Amino acid sequence: MALLLPLAGALGVSVTELLEGRRAVQEQRYSAAEVEALIRRALAFPVEPPERQQARVKRYLPVYLICCVLGVAEALAVWMLGLAPTEMGQTCLVLGVGFGVIYGAYAFFWMAETLPRYYDENRIAQFAQGAMHIHIPGVYYNNRNWRYVLRAFRAWSMASMLLLPPSLAVAGQLDPHLGGKATVAAFAVYILSLFGCIVVPAKRHEKDEE
């Protein structure tokens, strides 16, 4: 938006006309909803070409399917064998596998691999695309670090789905001796690793040369 106002002034048009690509009729008035829609369209993520989307699916689908099958099988085995006997352990089991399946698919097949240009021109600490929202104060995203963040998040979504069920199984056996703290610790490590897979590559590559 910081660039739209001076550009519109230099061209002698309104911001709305600049975004729409044509002059407005003198009597025409835009509602707040119409203006918001124009701004959203101007700030939209780049559309991925169909051939690139197909190549992306072909590249990642086998890995995603194998990890999902193994992760779900592990979770079912832990559940059926009673290795996560507490309600918290079972809840963590469902959440971990569900998150891996759903957000793993989103990261592999739908998340933007290139950010809009305004991410490179400003310090933006939030990513929002569809159902995916990432906001960690002090962590800024741009096209220098985004590919590393996305790569790490993809790896984490699959690795965590495979590692969480056996971790909860071990924690379930330790809980009677530790007052239920083992499951809490296992899930805390899971959450911290999620933040780590985003923060570490984002900070490390934030100022890389393009």
Residue 32: per-residue pLDDT: 60
Please state which of the ranges 48-57, 150-159, 198-207 shows the lowest mean pLDDT.
Answer: 48-57
Please give the sequence-ordered ranges of beta strands (E in DSSP) within the chain, or none if there are none: 126-129, 132-135
Nearest to 5 by CA among 21, 23, 19: 19
pLDDT in tens, 186-200: 999 999 999 999 999
Give the total residue count for the chain.
210
- Write down the pLDDT at residue 27: 39
The count of other CB atoms within 10 Å of the CB of residue 115 is 21
Distance CA 59, CA 71 (A): 20
- pLDDT for the residue numbered 129: 87
**Rounded Cα–Cα distance for residues 120 and 124 (Å):** 9
Between 23-27, 52-56, 113-117, the lowest mean confidence (pLDDT) is in 23-27
Burial of 175 (0-12, 13-18, 19+ CB in 10 A): buried
Tens digit of pLDDT for each residue in 43-102?
566 667 888 889 999 999 999 999 999 999 999 999 999 999 999 999 999 999 999 999
| Mean pLDDT (the chain, rounded) | 84
Statement: residue 38 has pLDDT above 60: no
